[in-house]
A and B are shown apart, each in its own frame.
Chain A
Amino acid sequence: MERRTFLKAAGAATLGASSLSLLKALPASAAPSGVAVVAISETINSLDIHRSGTNRPSYQIAVNCYDRLVAFGTKTMPDGSLSYDYSKIVPDLAASWGPSADGKSLIFKLRDDARFWDGAPVTAADVKWSLDRAVTLGGFPAVQLKAGSLEKTEQFVVIDDLTFRIDLIRESKLTIPDLAVPVPMIINSKLALQHATPDDPWATEYLHRNPAGSGAFKIARWDPGQQIVYERNDAWTSGKLPGVKRVVVREVPSQATNRALVEKGDVQLAFGIPDKDASELAGKPGVKVVSTPIENCMYCIGLNVNFEPLKDVKVRQAIAHAVPYADIFKVAAYNKGAPMWGGPSATPANIAWPQPFPYDTDYDKAKELMAASSMPGGFETTISIDLSQSNWMEPTALLLQEGLAKIGIKTVVDKIPGANWRTASLVEKRLPIHLETFGGWLNYADYYFFWAYVKGHLFNSSNYYNAEIETLVDETLHAETDSPGYEAKIKRMIEIAFHDVPRIPIWQPTLNSAMSTKLAGYEYWFHRQLDVRKFDVS
């Protein structure tokens, strides 16, 4: 029995450090070199992103343990931190790709040196099996791939061992980026199929516990509810070998504890910390805080047009003028993020998204609009919030309540438990005034509008319908950004959203992480999960 294999691997000097760690004579930054310790506040519930019920923190397994056909590039942000680069698609398992002669397919050439962890070569058959699996198992993976017009198994064709073809349902700018999100990961199909059963042809039970990929890290240990231990795949071929041999991800539910751990140097990274801790930790010695604005995401007030008073655009505009934006931003977001109010003009100057809406706190204007509306005497309604996000939703709702009271709208705050929130707000769409947080993985304004402004779509919790928006979304969703008329159509779309305000944006939130100054290689991703592939500990 090798109880201490972990330390042995890291060298003899570590034995002393570990016994000292009991006495805490040394901070645990004296942990074995080449090992990084990360604290996350949520729990990982599966090692397979395709499984139904897999939660968001588990997506990091798909990121760190698997490769895809293509990947997003990396860019350096103004503050020196790393971020994925939406505008750049780089090779991952595919060395090259391009449209077929007739333009109706995409052809991918796989690298011939790519190997799974067990040494088996990565072949087109593995790619097909993996994509088939993602669209067949249903649930979130299928929905995400559908966004890139990847819907049916017939679309995925093996030409030879290293050549793979995707037949397109339509030409869309979303197809290639959608192949770089975590979902279409490439699985070792030969290994997985050994564990498939007639009841479970896609080996969901096996892959749930045993990842079978070609990625930068393997899983050395998974203690559900406690920790994941990543171990570097020294034979990784899809990128520069990570600087750390092992990454220990510990699940520490209490944010206060997380904060103490990173301040004391016992963990190198506290991932995804609240705005409050981020603003207070900044400037502490030895700690670096990185706050990255979350792309294509806004925290909004949703106004449900199924409710009579909110049907009137004047009422909605009045509400947009009665929001105490600056106070909310200060109290609920600790001034972290980008303000989404006080835009300069009712017509957008560019197609940047999200961008500030042309509303500001102005009670006189709000009262004027109310007086001119169908509800001059005001009305009563509810503001619904999600209890599991009460850290920012509760102060926001209370300040909003105060603001609305000034223009004659009486509200009660309705707190909904986390498990019911999705059903009430997104599925049944039955909440009059509520808070909403949608963020699109694919970074285009039309993609956001597709989910949040089109009638019947999941994140359109306002039941908003506008015929022109529906047409504009149809015309732009798959079109290339440099195609004729694209920019004008997006501007028009934003202009309608400005005017109709079924959603009143408050701010664009940030993803905050606090880390030791010794840790390098922290990277922001649209999926907001941990990527350890570029980590290095000095």
Chain B
Amino acid sequence: MGGFVRGRMIARRIIQALPVLFGVVLVTFLLTRALPGDPAAYFAGPAADAKSIAQIRESLGLDRPLPEQFWLYLKDLATGDLGVSISTGQPVMAELARRLPASLELTLGALLISLAIAVPMGVLAATRPGRPIDHFCRILATAGVSLPTFFTGLALLFIFYYLLGWAPAPIGRLDFAYLPPDPVTGFYVIDALLAGDTETAVAAFSQLILPMATLALFTLAPITRMTRGAMLQALGSDFIRTAKAAGLSRRKIIGRYAFQNAMLPVVTTLGMVFSFTLGANVLVEKVFAWPGIGSFAVEALVVSDYAAVQGFVLSMALLFVCLNLAIDILYTLIDPRVSIDG
């Protein structure tokens, strides 16, 4: 597939995504309004009377009819203005710009670790079914899914921070002795390296290790299981039997023919794991005081902070449109038979 064809494919996918995004905007708008609870009363504070609540309602624009509110929201959206989050007092755009990289740094880091462990382990387990490595893989996968992340997080903290003192204090992305690097990518480790400040990069990375390990343990399970299953299926198929009969080396059979064919379902799983991890790491964020997007969204939802919830859902929708696109492109690279149009 040539670059031009791929370019057209990407353009078409983006156009296809537009109605989806509009649907997301409309549905989140209606859903947030349907939530019980009155943000005006909540934000008017502990000693507010009816008059001050009405004042807040007016300043939030909540006294207008719904269609008008929606129209104003769309108009702001068109200019890239996602509104102001009343619970954090910051523009939603600024919050997302600050918190999304924090969550992505954590999630992507965890997925990388988890891939580096899970894929070789899955392959080993599939090629040696019933042997100790297979059992070990099963135990690790079961433990990974069944231990809730906040528990794993607290347990790791207890051992490596509280008892052993190896890990730094869990107070966010950087110890208070360091200033965050100038934002380029928003990933502290990369930004610090770009600025040539290895000390800050090391400090930021050391803050990452425990939360990353916690999430990696959690994501290990589905990836290992999927790799193992896909490998087993591939190894049992006709073309492998043919390859064996043709006398190809075991390394070539497993490494090239079986593994490449097993990768499709693994990539699919990876996409799914990424999406739920990004949302599900709210508990890890709480334990490690990580200023990520999950805790922001949950807090916003709890207090009916409309602008923040809408901004969060919209940015997630955008992220997933991109993610699905990336995965589809990856498919075409792995398996030439897969066509985007199909």
Contacts and interface: CB of A to CB of B under 8 A. Distances in A.
A45 B87 contact: yes
Interface string A271-307: 0000000000000000000000000000000000000
Given A140-B52, A261-B171, A423-B38, A226 B291 contact: yes
A225 B88 contact: yes
A263 B90 contact: no
Interface in A418-472: 418-420, 422-423, 427, 451, 458
A344 interface: no
A443 to B, nearest CB: 15
A485 interface: no
Interface in B197-215: 197, 199-200, 202-203, 206
Interface string A251-282: 11110110011011011000000000000000
Interface string A33-62: 000010100010110000111111000000
B195 to A, nearest CB: 8
A253 B295 contact: yes
Contacts of A51: 89
Interface in A231-267: 248, 250-254, 256-257, 260-261, 263-264, 266-267
Contact of A143 (B35, B49, B171, B287): B49
Given A139-B45, A142-B52, A227-B172, A24 B162 contact: no
B162 A420 contact: no
Contact of B95 (A224, A250, A264): A224
A464 to B, nearest CB: 18
A473 interface: no
A458 B287 CA distance: 36
Contact of A257 (B48, B50, B199, B289): B289
A52 B166 contact: no
A208 B89 CA distance: 8
A140 B45 contact: yes
A81 interface: no
A18 interface: yes
Interface stretch (A3-11, A373-381, A474-482): A3-11
A31 B175 CA distance: 11
B109 to A, nearest CB: 18
A380 to B, nearest CB: 23
Given A139-B52, A225-B95, A458-B47, A257 B38 contact: no
Contacts of B170: 252, 257, 260-261
Given A139-B52, A264-B161, A420 B289 contact: no
A538 interface: no
Given A22-B202, A138-B55, A260-B161, A45 B88 contact: yes
A226 B165 CA distance: 23
Contacts of A45: 87-90
Nearest to B205: A22
A194 interface: no
Nearest to B56: A52
A144 interface: yes
Contacts of A257: 157, 170, 287-289
A19 interface: yes
Nearest to A441: B47
Most A Cβ at <10 Å: residue of B48, B53, B165: B48
A341 to B, nearest CB: 26
Tell me the dominant secondary structure on chain B's binding face.
loop
Contact of A418 (B181, B195, B303): B303
B152 to A, nearest CB: 13
B280 interface: no
A257 B295 CA distance: 16
Interface in B240-298: 285-289, 291, 295-296
B99 A4 contact: no
B41 A427 contact: yes
B286 A254 contact: yes
Contacts of B41: 422-423, 427
Given A46-B89, A266-B171, A24 B165 contact: yes
A260 B288 CA distance: 11
B139 interface: no
A390 B157 CA distance: 25
A28 interface: yes
Nearest to B39: A419
Nearest to B199: A19
Given A39-B171, A226-B172, A423 B37 contact: yes
Interface residues of B, number: 70
A251 B55 contact: no
Interface in A129-169: 138-140, 142-144, 147
B42 interface: yes
A1 interface: yes
Contacts of A451: 47
A250 B166 contact: no
B117 interface: no
Given A37-B176, A251-B289, A256-B154, A53 B171 contact: no
Contact of A139 (B55, B162, B288): B55
Interface in A307-350: none
B44 interface: yes
B178 to A, nearest CB: 8
Contacts of B43: 52-53
B91 to A, nearest CB: 10
Contacts of A46: 89
A417 interface: yes
B169 interface: yes
Nearest to A7: B177
B289 A254 contact: yes
Nearest to B203: A22
B55 A5 contact: no
A418 B171 contact: no
Given A22-B175, A142-B52, A423-B41, 12 more contacts: A17-B177, A21-B177, A45-B90, A143-B47, A143-B48, A224-B88, A252-B170, A260-B157, A261-B170, A263-B162, A264-B165, A266-B171
Interface of B: 35-39, 41-53, 55-56, 59, 86-90, 95, 98-99, 154, 157-158, 161-162, 165-173, 175-182, 195, 197, 199-200, 202-203, 206, 285-289, 291, 295-296, 299, 302-304
Interface of A: 1, 3-7, 14, 17-19, 21-22, 24, 28, 31-32, 37, 39, 43, 45-46, 51-56, 138-140, 142-144, 147, 208, 223-227, 229, 248, 250-254, 256-257, 260-261, 263-264, 266-267, 388, 417-420, 422-423, 427, 451, 458
3 A-B pairs with the lowest CB-CB distances in the bound complex, closest first: A140-B45, A419-B37, A266-B169
12 contacts: A3-B181, A4-B178, A24-B167, A46-B89, A54-B89, A147-B47, A226-B172, A227-B176, A252-B289, A253-B295, A260-B161, A264-B169
